[in-house]
Amino acid sequence: MVAEHAAEAGNMGQQVGHMIMHHITNGPHMELPSYNDFTNEVHLPHIPAFEILGVTIDMSITRHVVMMILAAVLLILMGLLIRRKIAIVPRGFTSLVESFVLFIRDDIAKTTMGEAGARRYTPYLCSTFFFILTCNLLGLVPYGSTATSNVSVTAALAFMSFLMIQGAGMRKMGVFGYFKHLIPPGVPWWLAPVMVVVELMGVLAKPFALCIRLFANMVAGHAVILSLIGLIFVMSFWVFPLTVAFGAFMYLLELFVALLQAYIFTMLTSLFIGLLIVGEH
């Protein structure tokens, strides 16, 4: 009896581990509820890989791609819905979205890059914020997957922010002026090459920090929640109330983290743009 119980617990532990890894890693299939098994895998369309200059490129659809497409579709539908319900005094969901947009414009963009910069870059900041937030929240849906727990996704988001940051600097200072600002005034000529290297490392460190910060926080948060939920299946019944209570608390905390990480990514992007366009000549 003890051996059978141990074997059953071990099998359930493997299934829980599989569920956790599915939720925070990428793969060529989605998992849906099943009546006769723990999960039911649905394989996604496969596109043959090809090579360009010796680099293998695989364009196959994965579950994180599905989650990003779903996030984009939901945001487009949200935009169309809000556009139809524009009113002098917004109500309900429209009012909620407007409060986020006004917060990004007034408390983030205007604070870091001034009035003119806010008018120009608020649309990009809002797009970034709502896309990251939607991807984060979709990761909390049962049988969903967290696209922002994929370092390739966060790297792509950071790369887009990198292009916006450098483009804003070049637009403000000009291409020559942008590269000229990499050498602080008063630096001796013999120290200039070293300062250029240091400044370029700082330029590259900003998108790297954006990428790793979002990736690490989303992986850690979801892993903790799913591990606590998994304890329900592998431990005794007496642990059930404590595990459920702590898991519910962590779930609510992860909702806050999903919002916080979208805010931090947007705020830092706005701050990095503001550092280049405010006070430069």
| pLDDT tens-digit readout, 144-163 | 788 898 898 999 999 999 99
Tokens representing 136 are 């984060």
pTM, two decimals, is 0.82
Q: What is the pLDDT of residue 232?
A: 64
Q: What is the pLDDT of residue 281?
A: 42
Q: What would the DSSP string read from start to end of 93-118?
A: HHHHHHHHHHIIIIIIIHHHHHHHHH
Most confident by average pLDDT, 13-22, 117-126, 133-142, 211-220: 117-126
Q: What is the pLDDT of residue 5?
A: 45
Number of other CB atoms surrounding residue 247 within 10 Å: 19
Is the pLDDT confidence value at 174 over 90? no
Summarised one tens digit per residue, pLDDT across range 118-145 is 999 999 999 999 999 999 998 888 777 8
Q: Look at 53-67, 152-166, 258-272 and tell me which has the smallest mean pLDDT.
A: 53-67
Number of other CB atoms surrounding residue 228 within 10 Å: 19
What's the mean per-residue pLDDT of the chain? 79
Is the pLDDT confidence value at 16 over 70? no
Higher pLDDT, 182 or 9: 182
Q: What is the pLDDT of residue 233?
A: 63
